Amino acid sequence: MHIVLASASPRRRELMEMLGAPALRIVPAKGEERPPEGVGPEELVKALSAAKAREIAALSEKDDVIIGADTIVWHRGRVYGKPRSREEAIAMLEALSGETHEVYTGVTVIRGEAELCEAERSLVHFRELSRREIEAYVDSGEPMDKAGAYGAQGKAALFVRGIEGDFFNVMGLPLCRLGTMLRKQGVELL
């Protein structure tokens, strides 16, 4: 039996290693599924995480446990994905400055025929940011591969007054919920 993480995210990999997950394999899904339209953030991340997990489950051994995950930043009714340019990163951070946004991660855990699919929501409170700070942060290179253009586990820690919910959800993998889902699939991490 392997635990197979169907994600290319280095942060998710680090978190699974931090938990000491045994027999961990990383097999990133291509994730070419088109996102469902006209659904809320919870349904969206659940659908995208399930598509990733199913893609890799089809290539895996019968007893493997496959984990798919998808994270979005949600603010004023809009999805904030990874910024496509320096300008877009600056615009995202200006929109988040001084406000509270939501982070949703969908998690799907598949073992054989059993598929569990859930979503976790956290609130993130940003303090007011100056234009100078935003530009210095974007120029550090940290935002470009991250939904919402920030990494709460990096220098953007200086921007986050506080959160409500699971911090690791903001990093991309809600560990407490994932632990419970894995236990239901027969895997104990402790």
List the catalytic residues. 70
Contact 31, 6 (CB under 8 A): no
Using the contact rule CB under 8 A, the part of the chain among 26-34, 56-64, 103-111, 136-144 near a second copy is 136-144
Using the contact rule CB under 8 A, the part of the chain among 3-11, 80-88, 103-111, 159-167 near a second copy is 159-167
Residue with tokens 């394999």: 25
| Of residues 74 and 159, the one with the C-beta less far from a second copy | 159
Q: What whole-number distance in Å separates Cα of residue 188 and Cα of residue 190?
A: 6
Interface pattern 86-115 for a second copy (x via CB under 8 A): ------------------------------
Q: What whole-number distance in Å separates Cα of residue 27 and Cα of residue 180?
A: 22
Q: What whole-number distance in Å separates Cα of residue 73 and Cα of residue 82?
A: 9
The bridge status of strand 65-75 relative to strand 3-5 is parallel
| Of residues 114 and 157, the one with the C-beta less far from a second copy | 157
- Which stretches of 7-127 are DSSP H helices? 10-18, 41-57, 86-96
Contact 148, 105 (CB under 8 A): no
| Of residues 34 and 132, the one with the C-beta less far from a second copy | 132
Q: What whole-number distance in Å separates Cα of residue 72 and Cα of residue 104?
A: 5
# of chain residues touching a second copy (CB under 8 A): 32
Q: Is there binding between residue 64 and a second copy (CB under 8 A)?
A: no
Residue 151 exposed, middle or buried by CB count within 10 Å (0-12, 13-18, 19+): buried
| Amino acid identity, position 5 | L
Q: Is there binding between residue 189 and a second copy (CB under 8 A)?
A: yes
Using the contact rule CB under 8 A, the part of the chain among 30-38, 57-65, 68-76, 173-181 near a second copy is 173-181
Interface pattern 4-33 for a second copy (x via CB under 8 A): -----------x--xxx-------------
Q: Is there binding between residue 145 and a second copy (CB under 8 A)?
A: no
Residues forming the site for a second copy (CB under 8 A): 15, 18-20, 122, 127, 133, 136-137, 140, 152-155, 157-168, 175-176, 179-180, 189-190
